A and B are shown apart, each in its own frame.
Chain A
């Protein structure tokens, strides 16, 4: 009845328009949901990118390219233009100028904050396009877009204010893959060139472009091995490789890496292989098959020998960079722990725990294999891509938590294919009529039954089976169960987003006894203090985690920051923190340090503080100075890491320990001094500091800033000067009084 009314809108030309409008509005709604679910709380992070964007907007592109930043990595400075991926900043700069041209004066900060959500809307759209290339079901694309829009695995890196390279890179990743599939399908130079263009954009935006650089050749390689070489493949790959490599070499940070580094060699190798295969195919068409066999064998041996010899020669002579440690750590998860503590110290470089998959992907993770399985049902070139992508991304996501991000798109696509095939099967109102379905299956039935038919074509009698769902009850139960799962998925995503991924590290929120929100804003308090009340060029030494924040929020030069690759420089800071004051002071003087910033969570019970990170500093410093800093010395004889009375002498004398607990016990009545993170009682007499003095402590003691003392005026060393200041009176009074004498009269 309702159908008859709606019929004119669902059929023919009007029907197509109606569906188009419906699809468009659904996509717009998905994009809106994707953006809205990312707005739980807004804090700009990381600040370096924001700072760079501001620089770009105010100084123009060419100055940005040549930007030498003397406020980071002091005293080395950073050739910023040549050491970053400019895609993110250029994107927001372009948006900024476009809006300006339309006389919409939006603050660059707002653009930076909202860039990630906006691009997540685009990602949902790109996922829709990508999925549509994979399956004929029209609903799969929409489902994939919806999954992509709200999957926590992607939200984790794209909430409002998370202004990192990943913000735009995931969109570019998915869109490049879409263009690649399009190019392979059509064998079109245009799509190949577009793919290369977006690949170039991706290279400019994120170091994860290497994933594309390896995945596309792998796809091609697998296709060639499967005997699916075709001119389409040749045209699209060669177009992409030639243009894409040239485009990627335009980024100064990448430069000649695409032809030198081993990470890019697979693309080059596959490019060569394709030429050979193309040549062989050409020869095959002109030579009788008997001679062709001999020719092929000889050719294969020759080429293999030549290329292997060439590769070995080039690697030995150093033209091609050998495998980097970062690369090894992808294959051997314990490699980093042993050889590169700096990589292992980052939490997002840890191997992924199993629950993380469920946490980040929820029901998608068990639909994912089903979707991949469905790809095998109709294994065209593009389905091979899904399979290859799934295998590769699944492996890498297990190696590093961070790479969960590259897995998410394909999980969404595969899961959407599984769900849509289920829904398509169970949601059709018509019960299959035996006679009807025989015709349908013969010609073009709904995809699901025909797939099932194709699967079971072992038996002749089953070749055209009457497969379909007959009873309304089974339809209802499956559909309602699926709906419930999807609803739970939405709930889960909202919960994860609001609880896990929207708590910016800079601000801690807690609840007061009366239920009102209390915000602990110590980081910004301290950064603002630094910014307003210290000299413009005062150098701040802190552990590298806070480098970007100090550079951005406090606008002060730092020694090391989140992007410092110079391991020795980081180790220097680690050594200064973990050594005795007499050792640290010359280091700090040499690096012109004015203030030292430490994070201390003892009062509040904030566990991400420097004492808990301290062992990494020790380890990294030990990597460079194994004789001077020893991790063993920070553990007690029984192998415990203690900060209380029983802490080792090395621990108690380290600058970090002293700064963290300096003056802390005066807050408590005697005997009740407690560290609430480690849950231990501290000795009543706190450490004394000679070479630095307390300059500022934030309200909840999370940030403590110490000023490095200048050299003593009287030429004494600071320790004796300080002890003179402290002990002055005491010594005198003792001297005056003299030893006590017992009166005997």
Chain B
């Protein structure tokens, strides 16, 4: 069973918690503490009622928990040391209850079984979880619901009924329910394994580098994203057969291969490009009108399970739609999506995201805020086209993100003095002036060895 301590789970708050308000403002709120294995938090809380929902409809499991917690200690408790520390919005009075909604995702948790299938075969995935929610506190009442993408679930663990509770799971279409269970002690585990059909690719991006370059002079904002993409789906048991693929694409049946990626970009995006290490990939389409700007790219070959396809996409947009000048002073506010990756019905998981916001040369006092959980943030200088001091670059790193978070915003504020904007033209002007002056000076020197004949 995966311990909750591994940071591979992403936490977000359904109830507007303090955390969000404090935000990731300029300093990421991540701190990781290695706890001894014997660590057990003080038993000050109790889970009064818990509903655990596992959603397996996408290529990564999404789990959400709705839990009513109760302070069973005699003193008011305001925090709860778990593997994830949860800050409560207000201190919880004794005997008082509070409802928490926690949702998180596991990356690379679904594995195909069998691990290799034929090209046209169906794929089955295996997921292991616990029928009891793994909490550090006692739980009075709970159930676990599993949503499958289809009703084809050939294998699953059957938990025998006890203490009056019926045999689990109860099936309801594509939804299985384990429980409900009565009181369960802290840390109890009831392993459950399910195997279900999922003939779709498991798109895994091990590294995404996203650059956002702001140009005040050009009135342009340039996006570039570099993906290292792998398909985690079942490998091909035999070699790839083009004949079969060609006849198959005609009917377009579900397949574990990645055929196409769709990027719904912001309206007004321009000049997209799609390249890989060899050069331009000609199989892309860009449809742009007043209502939409869809970039549809096709990898050079269908990406089957175990195959890789690193690529790079980029586009431009009008800066006015993203940048606003603060009234008074030299401050600017930039509002860009944190993640604009492809939107696939099966979902995409990102192991590591590095987002760079390259601000113009001379931008200072950079502040940012986003609801995407970050692991690190830093400001550095990025030297490029004829910079003298270098541009201010804000680098944000996030790990273990899924595409559910793709519409989250990133707000960056910075100061950009007027003089900084004129630095480059001035530097160029002075350079060329001195160059010409030097050329004139050298040209008017007489270095002939011959004696001057008048």
Contact check, B278 vs A528: say whether CB atoms are below 8 A apart.
yes
Contact check, B386 vs A102: say whether CB atoms are below 8 A apart.
yes
A698 to B383, alpha carbons, bound, how many Å?
A: 41
User: Which of B282, B301, B383, B387 contacts A528 (CB under 8 A)?
Assistant: B301
Complex interface residues of chain A between 102 and 149 (CB less than 8 A to chain B): 102-105
Complex interface residues of chain B between 364 and 393 (CB less than 8 A to chain A): 383-388
Contact check, B300 vs A693: say whether CB atoms are below 8 A apart.
no
Contact check, B386 vs A694: say whether CB atoms are below 8 A apart.
no
Binary CB contact string for chain A from 681 to 715 against chain B (1 if under 8 A, 0 otherwise): 00000000000011111110100000100000000
CB proximity of A364 to chain B, nearest CB, Å = 34
CB proximity of B133 to chain A, nearest CB, Å = 41
CB proximity of A189 to chain B, nearest CB, Å = 14
Given contacts A525-B301, A532-B307, A532-B310, contact A693 B282 (CB under 8 A): no
User: Is B432 part of the contact surface with A, judged by Cβ < 8 Å?
Assistant: no
Chain A residues whose C-beta falls within 8 Å of the C-beta of B34 in the assembled complex: none
Stretch from B12-20, B235-243, B344-352 forming part of the interface with A: B235-243
Contact check, A105 vs B384: say whether CB atoms are below 8 A apart.
yes
Chain B residues whose C-beta falls within 8 Å of the C-beta of A663 in the assembled complex: 241, 243
Contact check, B242 vs A524: say whether CB atoms are below 8 A apart.
no
Complex interface residues of chain A between 488 and 546 (CB less than 8 A to chain B): 507, 519, 521, 524-525, 527-529, 531-533
CB proximity of B406 to chain A, nearest CB, Å = 25
Chain A residues whose C-beta falls within 8 Å of the C-beta of B307 in the assembled complex: 529, 532-533
User: Is B6 part of the contact surface with A, judged by Cβ < 8 Å?
Assistant: no
User: Is B283 part of the contact surface with A, judged by Cβ < 8 Å?
Assistant: yes
User: Is B276 part of the contact surface with A, judged by Cβ < 8 Å?
Assistant: yes
Contact check, A695 vs B308: say whether CB atoms are below 8 A apart.
no
CB proximity of B19 to chain A, nearest CB, Å = 39
CB proximity of A161 to chain B, nearest CB, Å = 9
Contact size class for B? 20 to 34
Given contacts A525-B300, A697-B242, contact A103 B384 (CB under 8 A): yes
Contact check, B239 vs A44: say whether CB atoms are below 8 A apart.
no
Chain A residues whose C-beta falls within 8 Å of the C-beta of B241 in the assembled complex: 663, 694, 697
Chain B residues whose C-beta falls within 8 Å of the C-beta of A103 in the assembled complex: 383-388
Given contacts A531-B277, A694-B239, contact A667 B246 (CB under 8 A): yes
Complex interface residues of chain A between 417 and 460 (CB less than 8 A to chain B): none
User: Is A553 part of the contact surface with B, judged by Cβ < 8 Å?
Assistant: yes
Complex interface residues of chain A between 30 and 81 (CB less than 8 A to chain B): 43-44
Chain A residues whose C-beta falls within 8 Å of the C-beta of B276 in the assembled complex: 528
User: Is A666 part of the contact surface with B, judged by Cβ < 8 Å?
Assistant: yes
User: Which of A44, A529, A667 contacts B279 (CB under 8 A)?
Assistant: A44
Contact check, B386 vs A529: say whether CB atoms are below 8 A apart.
no
* Chain A count of residues within 8 A CB distance of the other chain: 30
Contact check, B301 vs A667: say whether CB atoms are below 8 A apart.
no
Given contacts A103-B386, A105-B384, A696-B301, contact A524 B279 (CB under 8 A): yes
Given contacts A524-B300, A525-B301, A531-B277, contact A519 B282 (CB under 8 A): yes
Residue of B nearest to A47 (CB): B278
A696 to B281, alpha carbons, bound, how many Å?
A: 19
A527 to B309, alpha carbons, bound, how many Å?
A: 12
CB proximity of B388 to chain A, nearest CB, Å = 8
Contact check, B277 vs A521: say whether CB atoms are below 8 A apart.
no
A528 to B279, alpha carbons, bound, how many Å?
A: 10
Contact check, A707 vs B301: say whether CB atoms are below 8 A apart.
no
Complex interface residues of chain B between 182 and 238 (CB less than 8 A to chain A): none
A528 to B301, alpha carbons, bound, how many Å?
A: 8
Chain B residues whose C-beta falls within 8 Å of the C-beta of A527 in the assembled complex: 278
Residue of A nearest to B311 (CB): A528
Given contacts A103-B384, A524-B278, A532-B310, contact A696 B243 (CB under 8 A): no
CB proximity of B428 to chain A, nearest CB, Å = 11
Contact check, B243 vs A528: say whether CB atoms are below 8 A apart.
no
Residue of A nearest to B300 (CB): A525
Chain A residues whose C-beta falls within 8 Å of the C-beta of B300 in the assembled complex: 521, 524-525, 528-529
Contact check, B386 vs A104: say whether CB atoms are below 8 A apart.
yes
User: Which of B240, B277, B309, B384 contacts A696 (CB under 8 A)?
Assistant: B240
A259 to B221, alpha carbons, bound, how many Å?
A: 60
Residue of B nearest to A509 (CB): B282
Residue of B nearest to A517 (CB): B282
A525 to B239, alpha carbons, bound, how many Å?
A: 17
Contact check, B282 vs A507: say whether CB atoms are below 8 A apart.
yes
Complex interface residues of chain B between 236 and 285 (CB less than 8 A to chain A): 239-243, 246, 276-279, 281-283
Chain B residues whose C-beta falls within 8 Å of the C-beta of A105 in the assembled complex: 383-385
Chain B residues whose C-beta falls within 8 Å of the C-beta of A43 in the assembled complex: 279
Residue of A nearest to B239 (CB): A695
Contact check, B301 vs A104: say whether CB atoms are below 8 A apart.
no
Chain B residues whose C-beta falls within 8 Å of the C-beta of A529 in the assembled complex: 300-301, 307
CB proximity of A658 to chain B, nearest CB, Å = 16
Contact check, B243 vs A667: say whether CB atoms are below 8 A apart.
yes
Residue of B nearest to A693 (CB): B239
Residue of A102, A553, A697 with most partner-chain B CB within 10 A: A697
Contact check, A532 vs B309: say whether CB atoms are below 8 A apart.
yes
Chain B residues whose C-beta falls within 8 Å of the C-beta of A44 in the assembled complex: 279
Contact check, B278 vs A696: say whether CB atoms are below 8 A apart.
no
Chain A residues whose C-beta falls within 8 Å of the C-beta of B306 in the assembled complex: 533
Chain A residues whose C-beta falls within 8 Å of the C-beta of B239 in the assembled complex: 693-696, 707
A650 to B243, alpha carbons, bound, how many Å?
A: 27
Chain A residues whose C-beta falls within 8 Å of the C-beta of B385 in the assembled complex: 103-105
Besides A531-B277, A533-B308, A694-B239, 13 other CB < 8 A contacts?
A103-B383, A103-B385, A103-B386, A105-B384, A519-B282, A521-B282, A521-B300, A524-B278, A525-B300, A533-B307, A663-B243, A695-B240, A698-B242
A-B complex: 5 closest residue pairs judged by Cβ atoms: A697-B242, A519-B282, A525-B300, A532-B308, A695-B239
Subset of 5 A-B contacts with CB under 8 Å: A103-B388, A533-B308, A694-B239, A694-B240, A699-B301
